[in-house]
Amino acid sequence: MRVGLITGDPGHPVLAATAELLARRGCGVEVVLPGGGASAGGPAESLADVYLLKARTPQALTLASELERRGAAVVNSAAATELCQDRVRMAELARSAGLPFATTVAAGRLAELADPAYPFVVKSRHSRRHDLVALVDSAARLRELVERWPREEVVTQPYVRGSGWDQKLWVVDGQVFAARRRSELSAVEGALAAADEWEPSAGLVALALRVGEAFGLTVYGVDLLDGAAEPVIVDVNAFPGVRGRPGAPEALAGLALRVAWERGRPSASGGG
């Protein structure tokens, strides 16, 4: 069996561990580079049994769409991955599905933001690595951000005062992994000390699984904050890193094997 990894970073710890596990099962693992090159199994060659879409760049989405057009199994789909890049579309879908997603307003370019009510959270409209996520608590802070991101298309969300720690849930094929991580806003709000390890309630686990159903995602992350009345979802990420979570590589490898098997491909024991 052949598994393709669509990624620009094949050395990512979780991907590398997943590839090693699959290789032990007799699978051929091929790195497919979003920019057009590949170690094997590129779009012009025969299809792998399943592709794991880790990269989320425009080139990666185009590649994944082409592979899907040719009949390949891609996890997550190009369409579901692309939707999670637009925070406005993400919020609209979540709200329509009855999920408690933070009110998210398209605000145009950051430099055009006028008469905001402080404090609020501003984020890049298009989710990507090293994008803008900041708490804005004064006009001075807004001017500072405008100087750095004058043409950035942004959204605004209400500020939810918390402990300074985000609740992160990652789902891989129905298996939920969790941790509390230092908030990107913690330097401003002064986070309290807390353990990284965290066991989510059954209700939060169920909420995370509902997100996958609504978004058509199999590998994804959900960022939560404690709202006044209920948990508030502030972001959904397609195929996050899931670093440091024991069992995540095994879950990814099992997912690849399951998807290939369900599509009528040969089992891993049958070799490549």
| CATH code of 195's domain | 3.30.470.20
Does residue 188 share a domain with residue 89?
Answer: yes
**Domain end point (choices 137, 158, 179):** 158
**Domain end point (choices 158, 181, 196):** 158
DSSP letter for 268, please: G
Q: What's the number of domains the chain is made of? A: 3
Contact 172, 255 (CB under 8 A): yes
Does residue 210 share a domain with residue 89?
Answer: yes
| pLDDT on residue 161 | 78
| pLDDT on residue 39 | 45
- C-alpha to C-alpha distance for 191 and 183, rounded to whole angstroms: 8
- C-alpha to C-alpha distance for 156 and 92, rounded to whole angstroms: 14
| pLDDT on residue 191 | 43
Does residue 253 share a domain with residue 234?
Answer: no
Q: What are phi and psi of 175, to 5 degrees?
A: -90, 130
Query: If DSSP codes are grouped into helix, strand and coil, which group holds residue 157?
Result: strand
Does residue 117 share a domain with residue 13?
Answer: no
Does residue 168 share a domain with residue 95?
Answer: yes
| pLDDT on residue 264 | 67
| pLDDT on residue 36 | 59
CATH number at 48 reads: 3.40.50
Q: How many residues does the chain have?
A: 272
Structural domain for 152, as ranges:
105-158
Does residue 70 share a domain with residue 15?
Answer: yes
Does residue 133 share a domain with residue 185?
Answer: no
pTM of the model: 0.88
Does residue 58 share a domain with residue 12?
Answer: yes
Strand partners, 157: 121
Q: What are phi and psi of 239, to 5 degrees?
A: 50, 65
Does residue 111 share a domain with residue 95?
Answer: no
pLDDT per residue, tens digit, the chain (272 aa), is 899 999 999 999 999 999 999 999 999 999 999 875 444 444 456 899 999 999 999 999 999 999 999 999 999 999 999 999 999 999 999 999 999 999 999 999 999 998 899 999 999 999 998 999 999 999 999 999 999 999 999 999 999 876 667 899 999 999 999 998 777 675 444 444 443 778 999 999 999 999 999 999 999 999 998 877 788 999 999 999 898 899 999 999 999 999 998 886 444 444 44
Print the SS3 string covering 68-136. HHCCCCEECCHHHHHHCCEHHHHHHHHHHCCCCECCCEEEEEHHHCCCCCCCEEEEECECCCCCCEEEE
**Torsion angle, CA of 146/151/152/156, rounded to 10 degrees?**
60
Does residue 91 share a domain with residue 207?
Answer: yes
34 CB-near residues (< 8 Å, 6+ apart): 6, 7, 8, 55, 57, 59, 60, 63
Contact 25, 249 (CB under 8 A): no
| Segments in the chain forming alpha helices (H) | 13-24, 58-69, 78-83, 87-96, 139-148, 186-189, 202-215, 248-262
Does residue 93 share a domain with residue 154?
Answer: no
- C-alpha to C-alpha distance for 167 and 176, rounded to whole angstroms: 13
Does residue 112 share a domain with residue 42?
Answer: no
